[in-house]
Amino acid sequence: MDSPSSPSPNEPIDSATDVENNTEVEANTNTGSEAWTLLAGHVEGFVAAWDGENAPPSISDFLPDTAGPLRRLALLEAIKIDLEYRWLHHSLPRKVEEYLTEFPDLSDEGFPCDLVYEEFHIRKQAGEDVDPQEYFERFPQQVELIGRHLGIDTPYTPTALFQPKAADKLLEIQAGDRLEDFDLLATLGKGAFATVFLARQISMHRMVALKISADQGAEPQTLAQFDHENIVRVYDQRALPDAGLRLLYMQCVRGGTLHPVVNHVQETPAEKRTGRLLLKAVDRALDDHGEAAPAESSLRKRLAGMRWPEVICWIGSRLADALDYAHRRGVLHRDIKPANVLLTGEGAPKLADFNVSFSSAVSDVTPAAYFGGSLPYMSPEQLEAFHPGHVREAASLDERSDIYSLGVVLWELLTGYRPFRDGHLEEGWTATLDQMIDRRRAGVGEEALKTLPSKIPHGLKTVLLSCLAADPQARPQSGHELAQQLELCLQPRLQDILNPPERGWQRWVLAYPMVALILAAFVPNLLAARFNFVVNNVDIMPLIEAASPLARPTFEKLVMWINGIAFPLGLGLTGYLAFPVFKTIRERGRGVKHSVEQLAQMRNRSLELGHYAACIGILLWTIAGIAYPICFRIVVGSNMPLRVYPHFIASLSISGLIAASYPFLVVTFFTIRAYYPALLTLDQLPRQNFERLSRLGRRTRIYFVLSVLIIFVSILILVAIDTKAKFAVSLLCVAGIVGSYLAFLLYRAIQGDLAVLSIPAIQSGESGDIHSESVEALASGTWNP
């Protein structure tokens, strides 16, 4: 049932990093290790019998006694080995039909296309001119299935889990041997398909991790492209064609893998899990290799102080970034699991084992050629490509399948359990795959959700569930996007800004942005207008009435006309300048797509809304300050007392200060907490206009100082002009104290939010020269934009 065009569950699932004796060929999903050990024993015994006897051994003697999925799998593997020995080594050919006659239960689960595929290609290797039509005639009921699985025009990839020749040679190689240019010092790990040694490369005088495996796969060509801090560096490879082996020497990473870390998680209560758990696993691996942990490591200190969910976010973001690096170079991993993530002595993760990866940059390699992976970590679409009865092909997989696998790993690291309890092997491969696909298509169940710790970073649950979405379109679309989401989980304040609660004032502001803006600008100006009316009515009107009986009705008409014109005009101008921003926000809420440039333009404009409101207010109050005395001069004439002018200037100056500071602070607060985040996408976080955020921070400081000065300047002015509006002055003092306190709260909130919003730009270096200084200040909480 396997072919290059339809990948096989029996294809080698090589693990370069099974360095903790993790032979995770997931034939039995969660209980795969024990089943695999039994399977390996039966099959290796059959290989040894072929090598040690003159007559062909009986397959039945090397099968498990108990009927079931494990016996069927062992039977399939034994037949593949039997075909190879008979056709290629002993000239005792046997065809698939003879096995079907001897073992009729082979057909119970469905036609075994992988056996037909093996026979076809082994006969070609033996020198026969094999006509595919022969197989159509031999199996007329399975023409379509055979035609799809044979893959006549594609390179032959063995479907047998065991390669006898390579397996024998692997068993002969031991620590202490010298192999080619390498002294094998110690065994780091041994899996079913490879052994990893700590070795000294004689010619280069360096220590390396030497992986010895069967000579198949494109891993070295794949990894040779990579230079990333979270991907294991591969130095080179050598082939031993006579032995059918390949030597792959790479960077020696001695902190173990994430596989034993999962065991530690399972053994440790959730409330006691911290970053020290990770370091404990690393130190144990280092101790096994006779090495000490790094004495001075800022990373280890940081990890030791992190809560466990934060450690998961950090590990996940590093691995997602590594995947993005590989994906952008046309490489899919397709075998992401804890055993394939190595740890340095400091605790940093490194992605390894690209042996089943597909690289579009490697010539003559199709995705199907090295398809594999460990079943419990596969995405539903990868399982479908793995399924012999499904039309999906390996070539259809993309980076989102790796995102899914990483999500499974992170869930398992966080909780100690995989999100899907695949349990036991069903009645054969196809039934197992059907069940696994159905579980993943149904989504994460309630039982798995209960394993999540009660205290996790806000948004982490959402991120993990999005990774595990059955629909690839619902997942993060790239490793970069996932890395940003996980890093965001480490910044809870930033996440609160970008993801406001479903029910809260931010949602109301976003639902009615124009109403919120008008209220923010209108209310302070209304209070200023009321104060101005009271002061003028008490201080100015008696002076003007003495000069003209028309003064009071003129004053009341002026107030009505000036306010009737100024307020609608000011609100109209403010709304006009804000309308493009609010229009874009509404369109984004309806799913309308906008270009990066459009969003950046609207974000920049939104940062100016507070300043627009303040400037419009100052302008209109200035015009009013000129209009009032001119109109009174016209009505009263030359009899208008000169004392009136300083009174007008004083009251209008105070009103102007109110009109400038408070609308700015309120509108800017709305902008930073609602409008600006609604125009920001995750991928644009590091590319924000840092200079504009900094400028807004400096401007906010100026307006805050103005708001505090209002109370002092107002009292000084009113005392200087000997105002008679004592009640208004007293009220102004009280209002000024309350207003200054509210302004201080708004100022601190705005400055704090600006600092948090600036973190991605600073960390990415987009902020330029202030990078290191600002990061330290942000970390200590002493920095303001």
Task: Provide the annotated binding site for ATP.
Answer: 211
* Residue 607 in tokens: 């940062």
Taking the C-alpha atoms of residue 574 and residue 611, their distance in angstroms, rounded to an integer, is 10
Closest CA to 359 of 349, 369, 373: 369
Taking the C-alpha atoms of residue 746 and residue 420, their distance in angstroms, rounded to an integer, is 47
Amino acid symbol at 41 = G
- DSSP secondary structure, 703-723, as one string: HHHHHHHHHHHHHHHHHHTT-
Taking the C-alpha atoms of residue 701 and residue 665, their distance in angstroms, rounded to an integer, is 10
Taking the C-alpha atoms of residue 168 and residue 162, their distance in angstroms, rounded to an integer, is 10
Tally helices (H) and strands (E) across the chain: 30, 10
Taking the C-alpha atoms of residue 143 and residue 288, their distance in angstroms, rounded to an integer, is 55
Residue with tokens 């996440």: 495
Amino acid symbol at 705 = V
Taking the C-alpha atoms of residue 111 and residue 109, their distance in angstroms, rounded to an integer, is 7
Burial letters 541-578, b for 16+ CB under 10 A, else e: eebbeebeeebeebbeebbeebbeebbeebbebbeebb
- DSSP secondary structure, 106-121, as one string: GGSSS--HHHHHHHHH
Closest CA to 729 of 714, 713, 710, 709: 714
DSSP 214: E
* Residue 771 in tokens: 């990078």
Tell me the β-bridge partners of 201: 182, 206
* Residue 566 in tokens: 């100024």
- DSSP secondary structure, 302-358, as one string: HHHTSBHHHHHHHHHHHHHHHHHHHHTTTEE-----GGGEEE-TT--EEE---TT-E
Residue 438: count of CB within 10 angstroms of its CB = 11
Burial letters 652-689, b for 16+ CB under 10 A, else e: bbbbbbbbbbbbbbbbbbbbbbbbbbbbbebebbbebe
